[in-house]
Structure 1
Amino acid sequence: MEVPEGETIRGRVGTVGYMAPEVINNEAYTYSPDWWGLGCLLYEMIQGHSPFRKFKEKAKREEVERRVKEDTELYSQRFSEDAESICRMLLTKDPKQRLGCQGDGAAGVRKHPLFKNINFKRLEVHMLEPPFCPDPRAVYCKDIMDIEQFSMVRGIYLDAADTAFYSQFVTGSVSIPWQNEVLLVSVRRYPSEGDG
């Protein structure tokens, strides 16, 4: 959502488990949910699952929202002291107390010890080498269920003939479920001429 300068907004926007308590409670906000989302992302990158839903857990939306509003996230030994500190500060339930929301915005977040070795000026002008470069030929998704919530494709199914035909194009570097998802999107967007 776009936040007009000097104003607040209301609205439930976002992914379940990443929505900040103030969003779930339909309270007015500005950028506090963005800092909450950063906390969720950092937590998930370190722990391997979001702070309020375990990996592949089938928790209902209402339960996840209850956890976001009431529960305190758990930290394992995977978190360094600085990583746990910044996640706790970003995942503070009260947006007035949340890191990034106390008047200093991004500057306050950048000052956190977790980022002490990052030269943000060089980063902003693309002069830093990233510590990790994803393989552009690989798909970092275990199965199609991981991306289901982001796909707009519904109601198209591949039959045995489709599967046999498309299997000729398997490269080995992209999972079959992901290839099927891409094919479904292309079928929906670019139907053959006879399909009208």
Structure 2
Amino acid sequence: MVCVCFCFVAPEVLKNEKYTFSPDWWGLGCLIYEMIEGQSPFRKHKERVKRDEIDRRVKEDQETYSDKFSEEAKSICRMLLAKNPGERLGCTEGGAAAVKQHPIFKNINFKRLEANMLEPPFLPDPRAVYCKDVLDIEQFSTVKGVNLDTTDDDFYSKFVTGCVSIPWQNEMIETGCFEDINAYETDGTVSPDREKSPKPKRGFFHRLFSGEVRELS
């Protein structure tokens, strides 16, 4: 069960317009903004607001910038959060290359980054959720009123993988979303939807030229 922040939904998506990669660049702009400001560009921290109002703000309101933003940070956010996809950075001529060439990334060697040769400046704790606080998650999550005691916490702590945080694992376990993708039945056999489909029958000419049909004497 994944919680989606509706501020990250691009205007063209809300308007049911055709799009390709433009919402991805919008999402990058929202992400950069939130990493700097500590809140979404169209909803204040812990603000209780209806979905319709969020949609209106995304389509109509201009985001504001505090003193936390450098001029370069303001520039890239404004360019990525352009309401019109045709004017948005990444969607214009140059595509992704134009995004990489923005001054805010001047100290990043993208070739070394793509080769996994750069040391990350920050290593998150896999047991923590950094994106939202619990109250914020609950506002958009379909799972309500789940209380875990110490026994549950001890049990679920054994499931940490280093990639998925414990709180998200708790929610996935509680919702039972894994039940639909179990590979095996209770008796240990492979479930019907996981069985390999039978090989299609080969035609006469395929068998003939592959040597399966011997010449009749």
TM-score, normalized by length of structure 1? 0.73
Residue aligning to 1:72: 62
Number of aligned residue pairs: give it: 170
Q: 1:179/1:77 Cα in 2 relative to 1: closer, same or farther (>3 Å)?
A: same
Q: CA deviation at 1:163?
A: 2.7
Contact 1:141/1:147, CA 8 A, preserved across alignment: no
Q: CA deviation at 1:182?
A: 4.4
Residue 31, structure 1, aligned to residue 21, structure 2: yes
Deviations 1:92-112 (A, max 9, x none): 111111101113111000000
Q: Give secondary structure in 2 for the equivalent of 1:34.
A: helix
Q: CA deviation at 1:20?
A: 1.1
Q: Give secondary structure in 2 for the equivalent of 1:145.
A: helix
Match of 1:163 among 141, 149, 154: 149
Q: 1:46/1:24 Cα in 2 relative to 1: closer, same or farther (>3 Å)?
A: same
Contact 2:127/2:166, CA 8 A, preserved across alignment: no
Residue aligning to 1:135: 125
Q: 1:168/1:65 Cα in 2 relative to 1: closer, same or farther (>3 Å)?
A: closer
Q: Give secondary structure in 1 for the equivalent of 2:6.
A: coil
TM-score, normalized by length of structure 2? 0.66
Structural RMSD (CA) = 3.1
**For residues 167 and 31 of structure 1, what CA distance do their matches in structure 2 show?**
40
Match of 1:57 among 16, 40, 47: 47
Deviations 1:144-193 (A, max 9, x none): 333336756x47755xxx7364466798xxxxxx96774464355489x9
**For residues 179 and 121 of structure 1, what CA distance do their matches in structure 2 show?**
33
Residue aligning to 1:18: 8
Residue aligning to 1:125: 115
The structure with higher relative contact order (CA 8 Å, sep 6+) is 2
Structure 2: tracts of 5 or more residues without a match: 158-164, 180-185, 187-217
Q: Give secondary structure in 1 for the equivalent of 2:86.
A: coil
Q: Give secondary structure in 2 for the equivalent of 1:96.
A: helix
Residue aligning to 1:92: 82
Contact 2:7/2:43, CA 8 A, preserved across alignment: yes
**For residues 110 and 167 of structure 2, what CA distance do their matches in structure 1 show?**
40
Q: Give secondary structure in 1 for the equivalent of 2:76.
A: helix
**For residues 51 and 127 of structure 1, what CA distance do their matches in structure 2 show?**
32
**For residues 46 and 130 of structure 1, what CA distance do their matches in structure 2 show?**
17
2:88 is matched by which residue type in structure 1? R
Match of 2:173 among 169, 186, 190: 186
Q: 1:96/1:143 Cα in 2 relative to 1: closer, same or farther (>3 Å)?
A: closer
Match of 2:35 among 37, 45, 48: 45
**For residues 63 and 127 of structure 1, what CA distance do their matches in structure 2 show?**
43
Contact 1:39/1:91, CA 8 A, preserved across alignment: yes
Q: Give secondary structure in 2 for the equivalent of 1:74.
A: coil
Residues 122-131 or 56-65, more deviating: 56-65
Q: 1:113/1:59 Cα in 2 relative to 1: closer, same or farther (>3 Å)?
A: same
**For residues 167 and 100 of structure 2, what CA distance do their matches in structure 1 show?**
41
